[in-house]
Amino acid sequence: MERAYYFAFVEGDFVVLPLHVLIISSIVKILIIAHLLIIGVMAMIWSERRVSGWMQDRLGPNRVGFQGILQPIADGIKFLFKEDLIPNHVDKPLYVLAPAMLLVPAMITIAVVPFGSSLTIFGHEIPLQIADISIGILYILAITSLGVYGVVLGAWASNNKYSLLGGLRSSAQMISYELTLGLAIIGVLMLTVVEPGESALSLRKIAESQGKALWNWNFLIHFPAFLAFTTAMFAETNRLPFDLAEAEQELVAGYHTEYSSMKFALFFMAEYMNMIVGSAVTVTLFLGGWHFFGLENVGGPVWSGLISFGIIFVKTAIFLFVFIWVRWTLPRFRYDQLMNFGWKFLLPVALTSIVVTGILWVTTQSRLLVGIGNVVAAFIVVSIVAGLLVMNKTPEPATPELSGLDAIE
C-alpha cells in the first residue's frame, strides 16, 4: 500500500512527515495550544485584576482559591448560569452570532504563530507551530480584520444607541490602525533573508532569521516600525488608551451593552485572546521569537524545543504585562486625537520606515545604518507633522477679562 507523503521545507532539508503523523501531531498541537489560549485568557483576567489592584494600592480579587487564582473560573461558571437574555428589539440571528464571529477569528489567528523551534518525538521532527503556511503574515492580517465584523454586527444587531456608537467608533478605529499594522511589517519582510523556495511571509522564517545574535532582533533595526506596530496593536485590541469603543463614562459598555451571560463573556474572551495572539505575533516579528542568547540550543532535540517554547512564553507574558501597565499609565484619548494620531503620525512614520530601510539598504547594506537611519527619519517625520499641526491650529479665542487674583495682580 502506498502512503501519502507530506514534504515540509525545514531548515534547508526536506523533512518527510507521513500524513498520519501530520494529522495526529496537529490535533495534539491544536488541543494543547487552544487550551493554553483559553487558560491564558483566564490567567490574564486574574492577573489584570490583581496587577490593577497592585497599581492602585488595593487588593483585587483574593478570595477564591490561592490568591484569588480561581476567580476567572468562578466568573465563568457564573456567566454560564446567568439568564441568556435576548431583548425584543434586536436582530436575533446576528445578535447571537456576533460573539462567535469575534471569538473564532481571535482563536484561529494563533495557527500560524510559531511557539518554539521543533520537537523530535518518535523519530519525527515536529515543528512547534500549528500550520507553517507560506503566507503567514497575510493570513494574520486577513483573519484579524475579520474581527471587525463581530464588532460591527454585534453593535448593529443590538439596536441600541450606545452599542451603535461604540461599534462605529471601534470599526473606524480598527480599520484606521490596520493600515499602520500592515505597513510596519513591510520593513521586516524587506530585510528577512530567505533561501530560494522559501517565503519571507512565513513567521517561522522571520523568527529564524533573528536567531544569530541580539542585533539581529528586528526591533533594533526597525525601532519606529516596532513602536508603530505595538501602538496599532493596542488600538486593534481596543485597549486603553484606545478603548473609545467602550468608554464607560460615555457609552456604558460600547458594542456589548445589550449582551448578557456567556455571550458577554465571549466578547471579553475574544478581546483577551486578541491580546495574547497579538503579543505572540509581536514577539515573533520583532523580539526574536524563541531566541534568547543561544539558550534555545541548550539540551538535546527534545529539551531545546521545550526551552524555546518556554522562552517565547515568557516573552509573551512580559509583553502582556506591558498591556496592563499601559492601561494604568495613560489616560484615554479623545476621538479626534485618536484619529489624528493614527492617520497623521503613525501612518507617515510607518511609510517613512519603508522608504528609509529601502534606500539605506541598497546604498550601504548595513543593518546598523538602517537602524540609526530609521530612528532619525522617524524623529524628523514626527517633528514635521507636529509642526504642521501646531501651525494650522486655529488660534484660541481671546481669554476673557481677568478675574479674581489675576485681576488684582
Partner 1 sequence: MLIDYLPILLLGLFAVLFAGINLALTHILGPKRPTRAKLSVYESGVQPVGDARQRFTIRFDLIAMLFIIFDIEVVFLYPWAVVFRKFSETSGLFILVEMLVFIGILFLGYIYAWKKGGLTWD
Residues 256-285 that bind partner 1 (CB under 8 A): 257-258, 261-263, 265-266
By the 10 Å C-beta count (0-12 exposed, 13-18 middle, 19+ buried), 322 is classed as: middle
Q: Contacting partner 1 (CB under 8 A), which of 82, 327, 332, 367?
A: 82
195 versus 406: smaller Cβ distance to partner 1: 195
Q: Contacting partner 1 (CB under 8 A), which of 16, 24, 39, 193?
A: 193
Contact stretch for partner 1 (CB under 8 A) within 109-117, 214-222, 234-242, 278-286: 109-117
Query: Read out DSSP for 262-312?
Result: HHHHHHHHHHHHHHHHHHHHHHHHHS-TT-STTGGG-SSHHHHHHHHHHHH
Hunting for cell 434586536 — which residue is that? Answer: 90
DSSP 3-state of 15 = strand
Enclosing H/E stretch for 323: helix 301-327
DSSP secondary structure letter of residue 1: -
Is 160 near partner 1 (CB under 8 A)? yes
180 versus 308: smaller Cβ distance to partner 1: 180
Is 88 near partner 1 (CB under 8 A)? yes
Is 242 near partner 1 (CB under 8 A)? no
Which of 318, 272, 266, 262 lies closest to 39, judged by CA? 272
Is 236 near partner 1 (CB under 8 A)? no
The answer to whether 16 and 6 have CB atoms below 8 angstroms apart is: yes
Query: Could you say which residues in the range 126-155 bind partner 1, by CB under 8 A?
Result: 130-134, 138-139
Is 211 near partner 1 (CB under 8 A)? no
Distance between CA 309 and CA 313 in Å, rounded? 6
Hunting for cell 514577539 — which residue is that? Answer: 283
Is 22 near partner 1 (CB under 8 A)? yes
Contact stretch for partner 1 (CB under 8 A) within 42-50, 55-63, 217-225, 335-343: 335-343
Query: Could you say which residues in the range 365-394 bind partner 1, by CB under 8 A?
Result: 365
What is the total count of residues that contact partner 1 (CB under 8 A)? 92
Distance between CA 356 and CA 229 in Å, rounded? 17
Task: Compose the 314-333 pattern: x for residues touching partner 1 by CB under 8 A, - for all others.
Answer: --------------------
Is 336 near partner 1 (CB under 8 A)? yes
**For residue 92, what is its C-alpha cell?**
436575533
Is 216 near partner 1 (CB under 8 A)? no
- In the complex, the smallest distance separating the C-beta of residue 404 from partner 1, rounded to whole angstroms, is 32
- In the complex, the smallest distance separating the C-beta of residue 42 from partner 1, rounded to whole angstroms, is 14
- In the complex, the smallest distance separating the C-beta of residue 132 from partner 1, rounded to whole angstroms, is 7
State in Å, rounded, how far the first CA of the chain is from the last one. 100
